Amino acid sequence: MSRRAKREEKVKSKIIQKIIIVAIFLGLVFWVISIAPNYVNEDITDTANLIINNSNVTANLKKEVIVENGVVYIAQEDIENFFDPYVYYDEQYNLIVTTSDNKIASMKVGEKTLVNNGSEVATSGTILERNDTLYLPFSNFKDIYNVEISYIESTNTVTVDSRDRKYVLADSTKDNSVKAYPTVFSRTVDEVTAGETFTVVQNEENKNNTVDGWTEIRTDAGKLGYVKENTVVNEYVVREAMAESKQIEGTVSMVWDYFSEYVYPPDRSGSTITGVNVVSPTFFTLVDEGKGQINENAGEEGKRYIAWAHENGYKVWPSISNNSYIETTAEIMRDYNLRHTLIENIVSLVLEYDLDGINIDFEYMHDEDKDLFSRFIIELKPRLQEIGAVLSVDVTAPDGSEEWSLCYDRYTIGQVADYIVFMAYDQNGSTSAIEGTTAGCDWVEANVQKFLGQEGVEADKLILGIPFYTRVWDEENGEKESFSVDMKDLEDLIPDSASRTWDDNLKQYYVEFTQNGVTTKIWMEEEKSIRAKLDLIDEYQLAGAAYWEKDREPDSIWNVIAEELGI
């Protein structure tokens, strides 16, 4: 080989060496970059850490967690974010009101007593006021929120575990380094020794949270991290997740059974109602200016009615009406103590009469009381939940008048109550400027879409109210008047010679005829129109239907309902 060839070979060799070195360097850089985040320590050490159901939420706290004299305090804003979206400060009485699934608690600022579902409980802490922030003594609220609370002083960590979630303990087969991430190339957050017990973190399916052969755990020090799945043994389920159950599985089919407060409840003995699983007798009304007192029209006749219903497999959800007492309703809604009085009276009635639920029928309210009516529902729900009673709330169509429509926060009611009932009737009522249908199917459907869309109500919470009546419109010499007619009596008003035209938008027959100078117009409610409304329940997967009111219907309608709803 010539000298020149040797020189070229040497240069080529050096170039290859440099390429190899650069490749190794780049590989090392990539390796370092890829695993470096696993070694970054993002632990918060200058304040108490809060672990809720094995998730460290400290970085998301609006205020610091305070621990004083063994009591854990959490700010109202953080209670709202993590435990109770409806926690409420009442300026009039200087107290905080908070609710959970089956508890409502109130506590006055500065006092060491809380009221839990009507019973006073002594506490070790009180509500703190720090820098214009109210802090609840969370340690004293564990039964309200149904949680277990621990403070680990060595790591300044507070752990909160919901009692209704699955909770699993296990042991380690060997001394283990608990890794921040499911990889050996990760920083160590804690150590567990062979035989040491720890908490196994559960995923949303209530199974061990495992990733690529690693199991997430929480150590006794409150540290969250991962150990190899094959080192986790002796798993012990301390408690299983609580399964939610509904009083009625499947479609709700409810009929209101109306009778005025001046007459006795009807005697239904010896009869049954096909296609129904809930009856709502009008047992209760507010006492005008009664400050939360209830006029009950049940008595011995009501008890016999309830016995009849239960014997035939019907749930009993009586209605409580405000009788359109707008000022009485406003007075109660605007005062926590009066709301509390009304709620206690409702609970007492449910227990006295062995009721399965309550149907709140408050209509004609000030729109400025909208949020306070929601407060009433928020505060009533846990008391009923505690005794196993269902809460349903009647509301009108959205986008109507202030006192009849805008007075409802349908989203909040739908979130809190078991059911929200859309009273889908009086599209054109007695005060309407023009004659028209009581409940055209296109109008009903458009409003169902509003409930599910703009109002944010969940379909499985929405019950569709259907009328068993229609409105007859008479016109004579340019003057119009209307009156309602029961479905069962409608055919008697229509002459045999009158023609019926099907309106495919309204899903109703329209009838018009003239007698003795009077022109009559009717948009009929009958089997075919009712069937069209019932079809919406399946189409939109709604919770069910309700019917206003018993004894205004022809007997045949119950077979239609039973067939459509499968009841």
Question: What is the pLDDT, as a whole number, of residue 514?
Answer: 95
> In terms of C-beta density within 10 A (0-12 exposed, 13-18 middle, 19 or more buried), how is residue 174 classed?
exposed
Question: What is the pLDDT, as a whole number, of residue 15?
Answer: 62
Q: How is residue 69 written in tokens?
A: 């004299």
CA atoms of 488 and 527, how far apart (whole Å): 11
Are the C-beta atoms of residues 281 and 305 closer than 8 Å to each other? yes
Q: What is the DSSP letter of 369?
A: G
Residue-by-residue pLDDT tens, the chain, 567 positions: 565 555 556 656 666 666 666 556 555 545 455 555 666 566 777 899 999 999 999 999 999 999 999 999 999 999 999 999 999 999 999 999 999 999 999 999 999 999 999 999 999 999 999 999 999 999 999 999 999 999 999 999 999 999 999 999 999 999 999 999 999 989 999 999 999 999 999 999 999 999 999 999 999 999 999 999 999 999 999 999 998 889 999 999 999 999 988 899 999 999 999 999 999 999 999 999 999 999 999 999 999 999 999 999 999 999 999 999 999 999 999 999 999 999 999 999 999 999 999 999 999 999 999 999 999 999 999 999 999 999 999 999 999 899 999 999 999 999 999 999 999 999 998 888 889 999 999 999 999 999 999 999 999 999 999 999 999 999 998 889 999 999 999 999 999 999 999 999 999 999 999 999 999 999 999 999 999 999 999 999 999 999 999 999 999 999 999 999 999
Over its C-alpha atoms, the chain yields an Rg (Å, rounded) of 33
CA angle (348, 349, 354) in 5-degree steps: 105
CA atoms of 24 and 326, how far apart (whole Å): 81
Give the closest residue to 257 by CA, choosing from 323, 305, 293.
305
Q: How is residue 234 written in tokens?
A: 């002796």
Give the closest residue to 228 by CA, choosing from 281, 158, 179, 283.
179
Phi-psi region of 313 (alpha: psi -120 to 50; beta: other; left: phi over 0): left
Q: Is this prediction's pTM over 0.85?
A: yes
CA atoms of 318 and 303, how far apart (whole Å): 12
All structural domains of the chain: 49-151 (3.30.457.10), 164-239 (2.30.30.40), 252-467+526-565 (3.20.20.80)
Question: Beta-carbon neighbour count of residue 109 at 10 Å?
Answer: 14
Q: How is residue 486 written in tokens?
A: 């029961």
CA atoms of 488 and 379, how far apart (whole Å): 40
DSSP secondary structure, 379-430, as one string: HHHHHHHHTT-EEEEEE--SS--TTTTTT--HHHHHHHSSEEEEE---SS-T
